[in-house]
């Protein structure tokens, strides 16, 4: 609720990221942003626009084009009492920092037997759909979800981006915050700038239903909700769950939904093999198999690199593919 002290703003997802960063920089002097072109230019997508001018060059730092250095420097800052927020311009450029994230950020608490933690929030735009060149449309969240010690968070709306970003910044351990750039400016929502975080490690049920459960995250929530609308017009009631935290997965919400619907379709734009969808299917197979009334379906990207812009929309799950998968699920049984 908006109050005289806390103004509400009708903003986009990327503006919600900016607003959350600004709130936390203002209220916690340990928070420091760093990355390539994030200061003067405000970042490649302008997520940090105006923050260096507002908070100064010591809080919003332009760095050289060196992803390994950005990650290593952030880990050092985190172990010495700061809360760094490194930005990688695109997820496809994060791999030079993978060693630092896997072998140092993810292991810091375990390595020091709890003496040191690594409170850093790594930001990266991810996913396809903006007609970008090669290496700019990666959806490899499963690589990072596999790393013990790393929490992976993906917002799907402006309200979710604001609350989950604040929660990530306040988490005592490293968080990879992946921002679905295709929906950076797709919709506006009213967000109250009151500093209230949303809980991590929980799914969000976006739509209630009792015929089938659709689990998705990030930009694909929009196609999935559109599919649910079309199915509703045909008398099929789909429950839509936004995973939100990719690792660790909120198993209870998914299993409770499967207990109600008996059918599961997972939607993600990443490649199918060894994707997060496979993990969700395994969880349901291990703990909810007796509630299933039909085989689990996955609607995903393909096991190839994201194609260039003329074909990228053919790569990603469409409303048509999702509704077809649901109908196949409803027609089959175990």
Active site residues: 136
Q: Whole-angstrom Cα distance, residue 177 to residue 196?
A: 17
Q: Whole-angstrom Cα distance, residue 158 to residue 250?
A: 21
Q: Identify whether the C-beta of residue 179 lies closer than 8 Å to the C-beta of residue 161.
A: yes
Which of helix, strand or coil describes residue 305? coil
Q: Whole-angstrom Cα distance, residue 125 to residue 45?
A: 9
Query: CB neighbours of 226 closer than 8 A, spacing ≥ 6?
Result: 319
How many C-beta neighbours within 10 Å does residue 331 have?
8
Question: Residue 226's closest CA among 128, 318, 129?
Answer: 318
Q: What is the 3 state secondary structure string of 137-203?
A: CCCCHHHHHCCCCCEEECCCCHHHHHHHHHHHHCCCCCEEEEEEHHHCCCCCEEEECCCCCCCCCCC
- Give the torsion through C-alpha atoms of 200, 202, 205, 206, to 10 deg: 20
Dmax (CA) of the chain: 61
Question: Residue 151's closest CA among 170, 177, 169, 184?
Answer: 177
């Amino acid at each position: 609720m908006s109050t005289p002290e806390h103004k509400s703003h009708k903003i986009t997802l990327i503006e919600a990221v900016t607003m959350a960063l600004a709130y936390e920089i203002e209220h916690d002097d340990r928070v420091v942003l760093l990355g390539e072109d994030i200061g003067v230019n405000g970042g490649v997508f302008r997520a940090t626009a105006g923050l260096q001018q507002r908070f100064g060059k010591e809080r919003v730092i332009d760095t050289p084009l060196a992803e390994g250095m950005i990650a290593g420097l952030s880990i050092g800052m985190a172990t010495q009492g700061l809360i760094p927020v490194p930005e990688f311009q695109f997820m496809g450029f994060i791999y030079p920092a993978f060693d630092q994230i896997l072998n140092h950020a993810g292991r810091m608490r375990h390595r020091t037997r709890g003496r040191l933690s690594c409170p850093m929030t790594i930001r990266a735009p991810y996913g396809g759909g903006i007609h970008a060149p090669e290496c700019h449309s990666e959806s490899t969240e499963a690589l990072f979800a596999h790393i013990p010690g790393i929490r992976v968070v993906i917002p799907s709306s402006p309200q979710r981006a604001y609350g989950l970003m604040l929660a990530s910044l306040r988490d005592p351990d490293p968080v990879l915050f992946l921002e679905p750039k295709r929906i950076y400016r797709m919709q506006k929502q009213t967000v109250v700038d009151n500093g209230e975080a949303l809980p991590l490690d929980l799914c969000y049920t976006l739509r209630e239903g009792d015929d089938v459960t659709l689990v998705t995250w990030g930009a694909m929530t929009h196609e999935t909700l559109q599919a649910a609308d079309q199915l509703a017009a045909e008398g099929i009631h789909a429950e839509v769950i936004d995973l939100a935290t990719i690792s660790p997965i909120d198993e209870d919400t998914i299993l409770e939904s499967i207990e109600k619907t008996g059918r599961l379709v997972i939607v993600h734009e990443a490649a199918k093999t060894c994707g997060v969808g496979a993990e969700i299917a395994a969880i349901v197979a291990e703990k909810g198999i007796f509630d299933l009334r039909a085989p689990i379906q996955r609607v995903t990207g393909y096991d190839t690199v994201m194609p260039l812009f003329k074909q990228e929309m053919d790569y990603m799950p469409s409303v048509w593919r999702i509704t077809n998968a649901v109908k196949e699920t409803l027609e089959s049984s175990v």
